[in-house]
Structure 1
Amino acid sequence: TPCSSMPGPLCQGVPSAIQSHGAAKPVSQLRAATTGSAGLDLIMQQDTEFTLPGEVHVVETQAKGPLPAGMVGHVLPRSHAGRKGFFVIPGVIDPDYQGIIKVQVWTNLPQTLPRDQSVAQLILVPYSVPGAVQQERGDAGFGSTLIGLTTTVTGTQNTLYYIWTDGMDCTTQQVSQMTPKLGGEMSDYAGG
Structure 2
Amino acid sequence: MILYINACVRKNSRTNELALDLLKKLGGEFTERKLDALNLKPHSCESLIYEGEQIAQGNLNDKCFEYAREFAAADTIVIAAPFWDFSFPALLKTYIENIYTIGIVCKYGAQGVMGLCKAKKLYYVVTSGGNFDPRFSFDYIKELCTTQFGIPNVELIKAENLDIDGADVQKILDEAKGKIII
TM-score normalised by length of structure 1 = 0.25
Higher helix residue share: 2
Higher strand residue share: 1
Larger relative contact order (CA 8 Å, sep ≥ 6): 2
Q: Find the structure with the greater CA-based Rg.
A: 1
TM-score normalised by length of structure 2 = 0.26
